[in-house]
Structure 1
C-alpha cells in the first residue's frame, strides 16, 4: 500500500495516507457485499434498487454578508452521485432537486433541527454525543455568536419542512420510525471519522483533505462524477446523502433525544442526529458473505 497515489494527486502519501487507503479498500469490499444483500422493509424483503434517492444538503449560513448557495448531493440506490446547488429559502421552496422529483427520498440536512430541551442546557444531547462543533442553546442565538446564522436558518428550515405536511416526515417526530422517515439531521464531520476508522484526515479545506475524502467515498461504493476535484462542501453533502442511504438499509446509529414541538416558541426541541454505523471487522464480513 505505501507508494500508492491518491486519485488526481501528484503527491505520494506516507503512513497516514496509506492507512486511509487501506480503510477505503476494506470499506469497498464491505460496501459491495452490502449492496448485494436483501433488506427488510414494511412489505417484507426487497432487493436494493428502484426509484428511491437520498439527498444530502450542506447548509450554508443564510445571514452571512457574502451568501453562498447550499451544495447538495443526490445518490440513487446504486450510489451514483450527482451534485447541485440550492439557494436558501426559509419557506423551503425548490429544496428537492429535479432528479428526485416524483421519487421516494430521504433528505439529510447538515444543520440542527431544533433547540436544546431545557433552559439550562448549552447544547443538545445529540451534539454532545457526536462531538459537533456547533452548539445549539435553548433560545435562538443572537447575531455575532459562533454559528448563530447557521443555527437560526437551519432550525427555521426544519420547522417549515415538518410543518408543511406529510411529505417531510422527521425521524422521531410523533413517533416516526426510521423505516418511514423522509427527513433527518446528519453530521458529516462525524461520518468521516467513522469511515476512516478513526484515522485523522487532513483538513477538508486542503487539497490533500479533499482527495482523501473523495477516495473514502469511492471506497464506500459512491460513484462520483468524473470531475478531477470536488469542493469540501460537495463532499460533505455526499457524506450526508450516503448517511441517509445507510439509514435506509438499516446500518446507521441514531444519537440524542427525539424531537418534539414547542408550540409556544414555534420551534422543534432537541432531535436525533444520524451517523453511519461502524463497519464490522473484515473477517466477520467475509464470513457473512460466504454464508
Structure 2
C-alpha cells in the first residue's frame, strides 16, 4: 500500500518547509530589487572609456551537459555588465564586444598551469589560498573532481599566451605587473576575505543576496535590479579582483609560471587575491537563513 498523504506529519512538515523557503526567497529577491531601485536606475550600464576588467567564470567544457561561461565587465567606475561566452580552447571572442579596442585585464577563475614537480598533486598557489581544486603534474581527465574544468582551463591559458602579444600572463617570461593583461583568480577565497564570517551557500537566494550586497558596498554598480546568479557574482568578483590588481591592492600567491614546451602546457603560476583598504567592506548586511 502506498504512503498516505492525509494526516501524514512528515508530508505536512515538508510542505510547510517548502512554503517557508519560497516565502523567504521571495522576500529577499524583493528586498534586493527595492534597494536597487532606490540606488540606481535600470538598463544596460554604459562603460566609461579606457581600462576595463573582465571576470570569467569558467565551466567544465567536458561535462555531458556543458553550458556557456558567465563573464562580467567592470570599468574604472565599477559599472558592471554581464554576458556569456561559449568555451572554445582557442579563446575566440573571449574579449567581449564592449571591451574591444580598450586596455583590459582578463581574470579567469581557473588554473593556468599544472604543478611543477612530477610527484606533486597540487600547485603551491593552490595550497596558499586553500583552493579546493588540486592541479597535479600529470593531468588525467577521468575519476577526480574538477579534472574537466582543470583541463579546459590550462589548455585555454596556454592557447591565449601563445596566440600573440595580446594576452600577457603575470610573471610568464618576466611579464611585470604593469604590463599584465591576464591573471588567475580564486573567487571562493576572495569571498572569505570580503565577508565577516561564513556566507550562506552561493547557490541559495540568501547566499546570492549577501554576495551581491558585498559587491555593491564595494562600489559595484549592477545594470539590473534582478538578483545576479551565483556564476555572475563569481564573475563580478573576478573582475573586481582584476581592478584591485590594477590599482595595486592585491597579493600575488605562489610561484611564477613557466612554459613546458615539450608538453605544450604552463607549469605552476600565480593566483591573485585582493587586499582590503580600511573600511572598504561594511558588515551591516542583515543575517538571513539559507534558502
| TM-score of the superposed pair, with normalisation by structure 1 | 0.79
8 Å CA contact retained: 2:53, 2:240 = yes
Q: Give the Cα–Cα distance (whole angstroms) in 1 for the partners of residues 100 and 225 of structure 2.
A: 25
8 Å CA contact retained: 2:25, 2:205 = no
Q: Give the Cα–Cα distance (whole angstroms) in 1 for the partners of residues 279 and 237 of structure 2.
A: 21
Q: Give the Cα–Cα distance (whole angstroms) in 1 for the partners of residues 243 and 130 of structure 2.
A: 22
Deviations 1:195-223 (A, max 9, x none): 114x1100001000000000000000000
Instruction: Give the 3-state SS of the residue equivalent to 1:75 in structure 2.
Output: strand
Instruction: Give the 3-state SS of the residue equivalent to 1:9 in structure 2.
Output: helix
Residues 99-178 of structure 1: matches in 2 within 5 Å?
99-178=98-177
8 Å CA contact retained: 2:53, 2:105 = yes
Counterpart pick for 1:211 among 209, 212, 231: 209
8 Å CA contact retained: 2:29, 2:205 = no
Larger radius of gyration: 2
8 Å CA contact retained: 1:8, 1:228 = no
Deviations 1:26-78 (A, max 9, x none): xxxxxxxxxxxxxxxxxxxxxxx741100000000000000100000000000
Structure 2 alignment gaps of length 5 or more? 1-23, 32-47, 281-291
Partner of 2:223: 225
Q: Give the Cα–Cα distance (whole angstroms) in 2 for the partners of residues 61 and 203 of structure 1.
A: 20
8 Å CA contact retained: 1:6, 1:212 = no
Q: Give the Cα–Cα distance (whole angstroms) in 1 for the partners of residues 30 and 76 of structure 2.
A: 33
Alignment partner of 1:9 is 2:28? yes
Cα deviation for residue 228 of structure 1 reads: 2.2
Divergent runs of 4+, >2 A: 5-8, 278-282
Residues 1-291 of structure 1: matches in 2 within 5 Å?
9=28, 50-197=49-196, 199-280=197-278
Cα deviation for residue 144 of structure 1 reads: 2.7
Structure 1 alignment gaps of length 5 or more? 13-48, 283-291
Partner of 1:25: none
Deviations 1:127-186 (A, max 9, x none): 001110100000112323110100000000000000001100000001111111000000
8 Å CA contact retained: 1:6, 1:211 = no
Change (3 A) 1:136 1:59: same
Change (3 A) 1:67 1:78: same
Cα deviation for residue 278 of structure 1 reads: 3.2
Q: Give the Cα–Cα distance (whole angstroms) in 1 for the partners of residues 122 and 67 of structure 2.
A: 26
8 Å CA contact retained: 2:170, 2:176 = yes
RMSD: 1.9
Count of residues in Structure 1 that have an aligned counterpart in Structure 2: 241
8 Å CA contact retained: 1:186, 1:240 = yes
Partner of 1:29: none
Change (3 A) 1:58 1:279: same
| TM-score of the superposed pair, with normalisation by structure 2 | 0.79
